[in-house]
Amino acid sequence: MDPKMLKELNKQIQEETYSSYIYLAMATDLEATGYKGLATWMHVQAREEKIHADIFLNYILERGDRAELLAIEKPPSSWLSPLEIFRTAYAHEQHITGRINHIVKVARDLNDNATLNMLQWFVEEQVEEEANASEAVQQLEIVGDDGRGKLMIDREMGTRVFAVPASAPYYPKPGQATGA
Ligand SMILES: [Fe+2]
Ligand SMILES: [Fe+2]
């Protein structure tokens, strides 16, 4: 594929891996501050982001190109509150949506229809990702300092279970473990 496209997709492996890493850091902080349910939710989120990274990697390989893994930055290790964590997560998802839209534009300019097709799944996925994070922010804002409310949210969000996302393109590769 065009080197410009390949560069963007490699960069996206890094972005999605960093997403996984920062959500793991958030899960760790939530765990340490007693929000076991929110920590579970974030662990599931981190695993999903790892799959997003794998999809970009698999896609590059499927096109017969060579993927390059870039350096992953150290994420913050603590936040002021669960609300701050989910605000950060929401802002991060908005950033990722911007990245996806940018890659779509590059693919369109290069008339790279295969990449455009693959990216459609991410366009839809980002709508859901932003909605999930923003809903959590809203709920945490509503309960504010009410401990009982926070425990209820913690319990409810802790019921989230990991599943390989439906109809994820280029995942898994034949013979590849799903991590499920
Ligand atoms: Fe992602
Ligand atoms: Fe995400």
pLDDT tens for 107-117 read 999 999 999 99
Distance 19 CA to ligand 1 centre (A): 7
CB 140 within 8 A of CB 107: no
Count of structural domains, the chain:
1
Distance 7 CA to ligand 1 centre (A): 18
How confident is the prediction for the chain on average, in pLDDT? 95
Distance 146 CA to ligand 1 centre (A): 32
CB 121 within 8 A of CB 167: yes
- Residue 20 within a domain: yes
What CATH number does residue 149 fall under? 1.20.1260.10
- Residue 120 within a domain: yes
- Residue 165 within a domain: no
Using alpha carbons only, give the angle 19, 31, 75 rounded to the nearest 5 degrees: 30
Please report the pLDDT score of residue 25 as a whole number. Answer: 98
Distance 64 CA to ligand 2 centre (A): 26
Longest dimension (CA), the chain: 54
Distance 43 CA to ligand 1 centre (A): 14
- Residue 162 within a domain: no
Distance 10 CA to ligand 1 centre (A): 14
Distance 108 CA to ligand 2 centre (A): 23
Please report the pLDDT score of residue 158 as a whole number. Answer: 98
- Residue 12 within a domain: yes
Distance 84 CA to ligand 2 centre (A): 17
Rg (CA), the chain: 17
Distance 49 CA to ligand 1 centre (A): 5
- Residue 171 within a domain: no
Q: Residue 165 — very low, low, confident or very high, per pLDDT cuts 50/70/90?
A: confident
Please report the pLDDT score of residue 180 as a whole number. Answer: 47
146: containing domain: 3-157
Indicate whether 9 pLDDT > 80: yes
Indicate whether 65 pLDDT > 50: yes
For the entire predicted model, the pTM comes to: 0.94
Residues 119-132, mean pLDDT to the nearest whole number: 97
- Residue 49 within a domain: yes
Distance 143 CA to ligand 2 centre (A): 25
